[in-house]
Structure 1
Amino acid sequence: MLKKLLLSGLFAMITLGFFIGFVSYQKEIREALSQPIDTASLEEEPPLVEKPSEKKTLVPRIIGLSEEDARKLLEEAGLQPSSVTEHTDQVEKDFVFYQRPMEGTEMFEGQEVIYTVSAGPFGQADSEEDDKEILMPSLLGKTQREGETILKEMGLQVRVRKSYSEDVAIGIIMKQEPAMTTKLQPSEEVTLWVSLGAKPEETKHQVPRVVGKTRSEAESILKNAGYEVSVTEKEDADGNIGKVLSQSPAGGSEVPEKGRVQIVIGKKKTAVVPETPSENSGEEDPDSGDALDPPVETPVAPPSGDELEEPVETGN
C-alpha cells in the first residue's frame, strides 16, 4: 500500500513539473511577439560585391601568341592573366591555343582571363636538362591504335599483349608498363595490355558416328560436319568389307575443336595359296648334295679258325 502511494505521488510531481514548464514557455513566446519588429534592419540591402573596376575593357585575342606576349597583352588591357598548360602535338610548345573568355568579350578591368599554353607533345621534356628524357603518358582507355601511334611519335618501342577482360571493351588499353610520368630514354620499350573483351564460353563439338557406314558415306558425313578425314584399312570378314570398323575420336564424343577423324575401313582378307609338291619329289635330284656322297660299305668279319674253307672246284 505504501509503495502505491509513493508511486502516485511521484507521478503527480512529474506532471506538475511539465505543466509549469509549458506555462513558462508560452509566456516567453507571448512576450517575444509583443515586441515591435525593427523593419529598418530588414530593408537594408546586402552589401554588393566590390567590382575590380567600374571601367570596362574588351578581351583581346591571344590565341596563337607566345605565353609571354599573351600575358603582356592582357596586362595592357587591364586584365588579370591566368595560365594552365596542357600537352598537345597540334600546337608548338609555349604558345597559347585556348582562352576564356573569348576575344571581344566585355569585362571589367582587373577581371581574370584564363588561357591554355601548349606543353608540347605527350612525353616531351619540360626543361632543357631533360631534353633526352621522355615522360610516359597515360594511355589507359585509349584504343590500341591510338596508343601505338602516340608511343611511336615519341620515339618509343611498343609491345602489345592481349588478354580477356570482363570490364574493359575489346581493343581498349587496360594496362601499361611503365606507369604514367615514368622517365624513359628514346627507343625504350613500352608494353601495352589490350582487352580481348569478355572470355567466350568454351564450345564443344560432337563427333558424328560413322562406324558401320561405307567409306564414301563416312567421309561425306565427317567433311560436311567440318572434320578432316584420315583413312586406313584392315582385313576383316566379308560382311564388313568397305565399311568403317572403328573411328577415333569415337562417335558421340565431344571435342573443343574440329580436327582430324581417323577411320578404319574393312578390306578382304588376302587368300593364302598352299605350295604344291613337284613331280620329281620321289626321285633323287642329281644336283642335290646326296647324289655326290659315296656309298657306305658295311665291314664283314673274317672267318674264324673253326670254320673250314670250302674247296674250290676246278676243272679236273
Structure 2
Amino acid sequence: MYKKGLAVGAFIIIVFVFFMGFISYNNRLQENLGVLTPNADHEEERKEDVLKTVKVPDLLGATIEEVRLLLEEYELIGVIGEEYTDRSEKGLVFHQSPNKNLLVEKGSKVYFTLSLGPFGSSEKEKTFIMPNFIGMTEEEVRNVAEELGLFVEISYRESTTTSSGTVLSQDPSKGVDIKEGTAITIVLSQEPEPQRVNVPSVVGQQRNAAVEILKNAGFMVTVREVDSTTQNVGKVLTQNPSAQGTATKGSTVTISVGKKVETPMVTVPSVLGQTRANAVEALEKLGLVVRIQEQESTDENIGKVLGQNPSANTSMEKGATVTLTVGKKAEVERVLVPSVVGQDRGKAEETLRDLGFIVVVQEEESTENQVGKVLRQQPGPEESLVYGSTVTLHVGIQVQSEMITVMDVMGLSEEEAVAKLESQGFVVKIERRTSAFVDVGIVMEQKPSAGTSLAKGAEITLVISRGVDGN
C-alpha cells in the first residue's frame, strides 16, 4: 500500500514538471514570433511606399491623346494650358512641369502646355473692331484691353496741352479689325521736363552785381548776411547751388554776403625759433588762425618756426590768419617713373631696373597680340618715387578657355535660374514676355538652350513670364 502511494506521487510530480516545461516553451515561441512580426510588417510598409511613387513621363512633343494615355498609365493628373508659339507644331506639348523622370507621388498634378501654332494660326482667335482710346487714362485702357484679350505697350510724349497720363495716340488706330491677343501701343502724355540752366559763379562778386548776374540767368535770389573780415564786407562768400552745375530755371539761388563785424584787435607776438606746437598754441590763444607751410632745413631746425607773416608786433583783427614757415627734413632722392605700357616684358623690366626701381610682375590673360607685353603699370608714368621703390607691371598671357555645358533652367523661378547659371560662371541677361499660361516670374525660354557648351563668362538670355497683363 505504501509503495502504491509512492508511485502515484511520483507520477503526479512528473506530469506537473512536463506541463510547466510546455508552458515555458510556448511562451518563448510566442516571444520570438512577436519579434519577427514587426519586421515583416515594416517590409510591407516599405513596399507600399515604393508603389505610391512614380517617375514623371516625358510629355514633350506628344499629342493631347498621347498625354491622356501616359498620365492614365502613370496614375497622374494632367493640367493643360495653351499658348501661341513657333517653337512647336500646333497640337503638340512644348512645355511640362515637373520635368520628366522626377519622382512624384501617384495622383500628383503634371502641368503641360499645348502649342496653338504661330500667332494668328488658331481657329480660337476672335476678331473685333479696335476701340478709340484717345483721351482715356492708362487704367481705363488696360481695363478695356483686358476684357478684349489685348496686350498693351506704353510709350510717353511730352505735351503742354493735354493732362498728364492721357492717351495722345494709339496703334492700331480706331475702327481697324484686330484679333484677340494683339499687342497694341498707346502714347501717354507727360509734362515737359523743366528747363535747366547753368548756375553762374558769383563768389567774390559785390552783392548787387551778383544779384543782377543771377537774375539775368533766370534765377530768383535770396541774400543771407554773415559775419566776415573787413576785406570781405559786401562780397559774396558762398552760393547754393554752387557754380559749374545746373539748376531749374526760376529756382532760387542763395548767396551769403559778408557784413562788417566789430572785431577786437590783437598784437602778433614773435614765435621765431619756437617749436611748431608751441607757436600754434600761442597764436590760437590770441584768436588768430594759423596756416603752416614747410621748408627744408638743417637737422637742428626741423619742426621749428623759421619765419612768420605778418611779422611780430603787427596789429590784426581776431580771426585773421598768420602764416608760419616750419623747417622739415630734406627730401630723399626721387626718380620719375617712365611709361613702359605696350613694351615687351624684358625691355620694360630692364628700363625700370636701370633707374633703380624694384620690378614686380603680375600676369593677366589678354588678347593674342598683347601676350608678353605690359598691359598697365603701377604707379603710372611721370609719378615721382623714392629711389629703390617698387613698380608693378601687369603682363599679358594667353587666355585659357574653359567650356561649360549649360544646365536646364526651364520652368524655374527667375531667382533660381539666375543663381544656377551664375554658379556655372555665365553672365545672365533677362528678357520679359507676357504669357497667359506661364506663371509670373517663371523661365519660359533660355537662349542658348540647355546642353549647349559655352566658354566661362559667356552670356545666356532668359525669357521670364510677365503674366497675362504684362505687369
TM-score by length of 2: 0.21
Q: Of the two structures, which has the highest relative contact order with CA contacts closer than 8 Å and spacing of 6 or more?
A: 1
Larger of the two Rg values belongs to structure: 1
Give the strand-richer structure, 1 or 2: 2
Q: Please, what TM-score do these two structures have when normalized by structure 1? A: 0.30
